Amino acid sequence: MDSPSVYTRCQDRLLGLAAELTAEQLATPVPALPDWTVLQTYAHLAGVCADVVRGLVPPSDDTVTARQVAERADADLAAVCAEWRRETPVLLEVFARETRARYRLPALDVWHHENDIRGALGLGAQTQDADQLAHFVMGGLARTWEPELPGVRVVATDTGQAWRLGEREDLEWRAGAFELARAVTGRRSTRQIAAMDWSGDPAPVVHRLPTLPAPEADLSV
């Protein structure tokens, strides 16, 4: 994944969107996230950037993300965005210096949160770079796939990409790269995953596909 490019493209779009948001929109809950509003999601993104710059290596847990939001609870959107802009050049240096997969996670995070925000505001999905995100998350899932599970061949119907989870191909899962990336990263309910295009019965694996907790309610973006 070209993390610097993915990150800066998402950030540019989010900063552009921030300039247009009303107070009501900033207070809108984000269904994909743990009781955060749109403003709090921006605060988290600024916090992730600041933490990595200060040497706090992702991944982070709920305590860390709650701290990131709480530290910016008194800041308005302009201050949050100013901090995020200010810290980003050093984060891009970290991307260039570090090759371990965990240092790609801020790019994964901002791509998903851009779509989380867009979904909360009733905007359409932003699908640019979905091919890169799908490849990143499928590669991670393949490395941790338990051998006793049925093997799954995964096909991105719009890009032609394909991955194999496990040594066998007992099942085939077909969807667009955007849907695959969202599903594996906890943005599709297990009902939604099971309803996608499958050959064979996905019941034995559907709960193992999300690498983050799947939402109880269906998400549209």
Q: What is the CATH number of domain 3-120?
A: 1.20.120.450
Task: Burial-class residue 156 by CB neighbours within 10 Å (0-12, 13-18, 19+).
Answer: buried
Residue 93 phi, psi dihedral angles, 5° rounding:
-65, -40
Contact at 8 Å (CB) between 135 and 202?
A: no
Per-residue model confidence as pLDDT tens digits over 155-209: 999 999 999 999 999 999 999 999 999 999 999 999 999 999 999 999 999 999 9
Mean pLDDT on 53-67: 82
* pLDDT-derived band at 5, boundaries 50, 70, 90: very high
Strand partners for 29:
37
pLDDT category at 151 given cuts 50, 70, 90 is: very high
Cβ atoms of 140 and 211 within 8 Å: the answer is yes
- On the question of pLDDT at 75 being above 90, the answer is yes
Residue 107 makes CB contacts below 8 A (sequence gap 6+) with 1, 3, 4, 6, 7, 10, 95
Cβ contact 6:129 at 8 Å: yes
Residue 99 vs residue 25, higher pLDDT: 25
Residues in the chain: 221
Q: Does 57 score more than 90 pLDDT?
A: no
pLDDT per residue over 28-49, tens digit each? 999 999 789 999 999 999 999 9
Contact status, residue 215 vs residue 187, Cβ threshold 8 Å: yes
The pLDDT of residue 61 is 79
Over 80: is that where the pLDDT of 60 sits? no
26 CB-side CA count, 13 A: 17
130-199 architecture in CATH?
A: 2-Layer Sandwich (3.30)
pLDDT of residue 59: 65
Mean pLDDT of 86-108: 91
For the chain, helix, strand, coil in percent to 5 are 50, 10, 40
Taking the domains of the chain in order of start, what are their residue ranges? Answer: 3-120, 130-199
Please state, in angstroms and rounded to a whole number, the distance separating the CA atoms of residues 112 and 118.
10
Chain centroid to Cα 48, Å, comes to: 13
Token pair belonging to 16: 């552009």
Q: What pTM was estimated for this model as a whole?
A: 0.94
> Confidence class of residue 114 from pLDDT cuts 50, 70 and 90?
very high
- H or E element in which residue 209 lies: none
Q: What is the pLDDT of residue 100?
A: 84
